[in-house]
Amino acid sequence: MYIDTHCHLHDEKFTDIDSVVEEYLKNGVDIAINMGCESTSSLQGKLLAEKYDSVYFAAGCHPSDSNQFNQNEFDKIAQLTSDEKCVAIGEIGLDFYWEPYDKEEQKQCFLAQIELAKQEKLPICIHSRNATEDMLKLLKSNKDKLLYGGVMHCFSGSVETASELIKLGLYISFAGPLTFKNANQLLEVAKFVPDELCLTETDSPYLAPHPLRGTVNTPKNIPVITATLAQLKNKDNVEFANQVKINAKRLFYKLK
């Protein structure tokens, strides 16, 4: 019934993956997409996808790791994209929060992977932090390369930003922060985004939803986030959860 479109099962916080997978399957989560942060974690995602039927993966270099993005790193990521369970290029984007950072280095890393997504006919999963203006400018100037779509993961911006992303044909993904008590702006965004462009994710092991904040997040918590989104939109929970699942399979078309 549910798909966690963005998680990090390769993270060291997960010490017993068998139990994590068993728990989320019992909670009605059929699929979890493991997002890579560089070639090593992307490969770990591939290995998890080989072990568990319910796990798929994305391969990519996170902006915070752009300093290690070279031809060898690119080639390793590109090689993974041909796998039948690689459903996206991600997690890629811009992050001007964690210092030190090199804006131009991050942009070149991002652009190379947008081009790879076009070449491999895959959607992209976008990370953006403290980089809205640069992100929108870059995406707009490369709109012709977004042929297979993409998603802004763990969205935390404004209605205005969401509107610009939607114009580019991108999906908006909501995570645990949607359930937080101080999420006023995000609540407005949730009401604004069309149902058919909504996705949900855990970004686990981070950002556990209320009332589980402070715990290790896992894909089993996706129903909490999806139910919150349905409630904000005044939708039936089951029907809306099915809509979000349809959306995920439309974007990540290699999911079975």
* Mean pLDDT over each residue of the chain, to the nearest integer: 97
Q: Which amino acid is at 241?
A: A
The per-residue DSSP string of 229-250 comes to HHHHTT--HHHHHHHHHHHHHH
> pLDDT at residue 98 above 90?
no
- State the pLDDT at residue 115: 98
Model confidence pTM above 0.95: yes
> pLDDT at residue 187 above 90?
yes
Strand ordering across the sheet containing 171-174: 2-7, 29-35, 55-59, 86-95, 124-129, 150-152, 171-174, 198-200
Domains and CATH numbers, the chain: 2-251 (3.20.20.140)
> Count of residues for the chain?
256
* CB-based burial label for 211 (10 Å; 0-12, 13-18, 19+): exposed
Mean pLDDT of 68-96: 97
Question: Which of 240, 253, 198 shows the shortest CA–CA distance to 33?
Answer: 253
- State the pLDDT at residue 99: 86
pLDDT per residue as tens digits for the range 1-43: 899 999 999 999 999 999 999 999 999 999 999 999 999 999 9
pLDDT per residue as tens digits for the range 104-140: 999 999 999 999 999 999 999 999 999 999 999 999 9
Provide the β-strand partners of residue 200.
174
Does an H or E element contain 29, and which? strand 29-35
Mean pLDDT of 184-208: 97
Rg of the Cα atoms in the chain: 17
Mean pLDDT of 177-203: 96
Give the separation between CA 208 and CA 177, rounded to whole angstroms.
8
**The 3-state secondary structure of 67-103, one letter per residue:** HHCCHHHHHHHHHHCCCCCEEEEEEEEEECCCCCCCH
Burial 19-38 (b: 16+ CB within 10 A, else e): ebbeebbebebebbbbbbbb
